[in-house]
Structure 1
Amino acid sequence: MMVFMGTGSTGRACRASGHSDTLAAFKWELWGLMLSTARLSERLATRHAQASPEKRTKTMIKDIPGSAQLWFCLLLLWAPFSAQASEIPAWPLSTLRDIPLPGHSTRWDYVTFDPDSHQLFLAHLGDDTVVVFDTRELRVIATIPQVSQVHGVLYIPELHRLYASATGTDEVVAIDSVSHQIIARIPVGNHPDGLTYVPGEHELFVSDEHGGTDTVIDVLSNTRRATIPLQGQIGNSQYDSASGHVFVNLQTLGQLAEIDPRSHQVLARHPLPKAHGNHGLWVDSVHQLAFVACSDDNTLIVFDLENHRTIATFPVARDPDVLAYDSGLNWLYVAGESGEVSLFQIHGRTVTPLGTAWLGPNAHSVAVDSDTHRAWFPLWNKKGPSVLRITYPTTTSR
């Protein structure tokens, strides 16, 4: 059964001021709670299939947990008076096709995209390979072996080079994007994961998740330049082009560290109140917002980088991991380990949830083409071969 999640009391459109339209807020509140209840009550569908409509409704209400009964009844009362308020928000993504992926049916991780060469690079963690996919011809064109337990992948256009974090050997692997050959291996810290690039300094920042550090690599010489102690477990790192700083999730401390890439000094440790497992990160440099995905409580935090405070929170896909942004549509994707994906519309500093839906098994990683608006999700199907699911917005042409 495909389940569409609501967005709950904090999932309405939020501005920095925290105000939103009352009717829309009530609609999202009711919708979110109804669908949360639907998840718990899915088993009732068979039990009451043969009952009369009146008896079925009464029995369903009886079986719903007490905390949700009031909201369920309010929804029944509200629906006749406002069709607009009770409309189910349409899920804005459609599946274009599924492309079989090579290798064993094992876990996939990060994805990165080169729009110029139309190459999509996929980390096949379970197979120790990086798979290269041509997004025009819709076919796999290369498989790069010997990247042990590959997690993060990041393409750097100015170098025509791909960097991949090999967690099995605690190193970062540099790969030529034309020949698909490995050109360097650089030792880093314990359990390297996410990657971000600082173009002005020609530096690659590597999140050493279990090492409590960020390793800095000089991409011109492919050598380690610095190791920055941060403490705790390290989530994703992201470069902010406006400030010229690197922001890093400290996922066991509930903090967002700010680093000067020139001095390699930690400038600040910004607290993220009520953050639990702040792992995923994406930075909107234009509007000075950081989007932080918390995997322990399924929450997206919107953090103001100018005033250093949280301005909004939203419930998202269960166990959120990777974030991606379509700059053409101003859509933010939040992909979850659960197979669910959340979508948000961003206008300036206004963030509006578009919904959450189950997209496919282990759909925790995503990359987006901001020109075609296609998104790619590698799916690990434990009962069959892996596939690359390609989606597109229902409001645009394929």
Structure 2
Amino acid sequence: MKKIADVPMPGPAVRFDYQTFDPSSGRLYIAHMNADQLVVFDTSKRQVVANLDGFKRVHGVTVAPEIHRLYASVTGNHQVTAVDTESLKTLGIAGPITYPDGLAYAPKQNKVFVSDEHGGVDAVIDARSNKLITNIPLGGGAGNTVYDSVSGHVLVSVHGMNLLAVIDPATNQIISRIPLAGIKNPHGIALDTRDRIAFIAGEENHSLAMVDLQTMKVLSTYQVGEDPDVLAYDPGLKRLYVSAESGTVTIFQNNRKSLTLLGSFEMPHAHTVSVDPKTHLVYFPLENVDGHPLLRIMQPVVTTQSKQ
């Protein structure tokens, strides 16, 4: 990885959490968790265009470009806030949710699915009314929640149970549970929708599972940095980035049925990562570099293998 730029971030030198990239606008939305702020970053101009206050202990953030909405888990208030991505004004608040974390938007049903990490459920919000409509019991703590655009299902990693729950957003029901052998406390998820693969990180045993979404079986497992948190996948380069709380970033090349380790490196507090699939640039919000927060932009080293 080659460092391209360090862009100063607003606010104090405190923890960031999830981020979401909107390809339609080129904006990166970053949860500055312990600053209670949402940072709006223009990747083409490489500058902060807004810094939104009032998002107490914001954890998860996801964008729904189809309806020009941004959803943020305002964990400190046990709520999810809907924001208009054009005006950046708050449109609604849904809750109560015990500990809202990861978020996913199901466009066909116009619903937002929310990991309630400590509540043991996936909460469901009607995006039209911005109201909480139901809770789906998981049998364990909720890790990350993602939307699979091919199957139209919502996938949730389940702490304690060491499985991946598959939800039908039309019925708000779990339709299958995939055991994750070799994974303890699954949390972060990234998808390769084209090759029908899910990558799921185990927090407790610094592990990574490669799951075939057609057979619903674990293909292989790998070791990553201690306490992995956020994953990002570049479908063009077929490259997976696994960021850990320990500051270790592990990089893999996806070979469809297996992964090749390309390497790893260390950065302080580099537990959250995002990638622009068009430019292949990788973004790491770092909470404290020489006393200030910054967004580190990095470029992957492209090999002949990764171009294929």
Q: Normalization by structure 1: what TM-score?
A: 0.73
Tell me, which stretches of 5 or more residues in structure 1 are unaligned?
1-92
Which sits farther off after the overlay, 163-172 or 113-122?
113-122
- The Cα of 1:395 is off from its aligned counterpart by 3.5
In the TM superposition, what whole-angstrom CA distance separates every residue of 1:192-211 from its partner, at most 9, and x where no partner exists?
00011111111111000000
Q: State the percentage of identical aligned residues.
A: 45
In the TM superposition, structure 1's runs of 4+ consecutive aligned residues that sit over 3 Å from their partners are none
Distance in 2 separating the partners of 1:128 and 1:154: 16
1:130 corresponds to 2:38: yes
1:373 corresponds to 2:280: yes
SS in 1 for 2:108: helix
Answer whether contact 1:106 1:382 (CA < 8 A) is retained: no
Distance in 1 separating the partners of 2:27 and 2:234: 17
- The Cα of 1:382 is off from its aligned counterpart by 7.2
Q: 1:204 maps to what in 2? A: 112
Give the direction of change, closer, same or farther, for the CA distance of 1:309–1:115 in structure 2 (3 Å limit): closer
The amino acid that maps onto 1:115 is P
Alignment of 1:32-181 (within 5 A): 93-181=1-89
1:384 corresponds to 2:274: no
Distance in 2 separating the partners of 1:371 and 1:285: 16
In the TM superposition, what whole-angstrom CA distance separates every residue of 1:213-246 from its partner, at most 9, and x where no partner exists?
0111111221222211112211011222332221
Distance in 2 separating the partners of 1:311 and 1:366: 24
In the TM superposition, what whole-angstrom CA distance separates every residue of 1:339-368 from its partner, at most 9, and x where no partner exists?
11111112332322211111x211111111
The amino acid that maps onto 2:18 is Y
Tell me, which stretches of 5 or more residues in structure 2 are unaligned?
304-308
Q: 1:302 maps to what in 2? A: 210
Alignment of 1:276-287 (within 5 A): 276-287=184-195
SS in 2 for 1:113: strand
In the TM superposition, what whole-angstrom CA distance separates every residue of 1:135-188 from its partner, at most 9, and x where no partner exists?
122111111111110000101111111100010011001111122111111114
Distance in 1 separating the partners of 2:76 and 2:277: 33
Which sits farther off after the overlay, 162-171 or 281-290?
281-290
The amino acid that maps onto 1:148 is K
Answer whether contact 1:120 1:135 (CA < 8 A) is retained: yes
Distance in 2 separating the partners of 1:181 and 1:170: 19
Distance in 1 separating the partners of 2:44 and 2:150: 33
Q: 1:266 maps to what in 2? A: 174
Judging by fraction of residues, say which structure has more helix: 1
Greater gyration radius: 1
1:257 corresponds to 2:194: no
Aligned residues: 303
Which sits farther off after the overlay, 344-353 or 213-222?
344-353
The amino acid that maps onto 2:167 is I
- The Cα of 1:265 is off from its aligned counterpart by 1.3
Distance in 2 separating the partners of 1:282 and 1:118: 20
RMSD after superposition: 1.5
Q: 1:394 maps to what in 2? A: 301
Which of 209, 217, 242 is equivalent to 2:125? 217
SS in 2 for 1:158: helix
Q: 1:247 maps to what in 2? A: 155
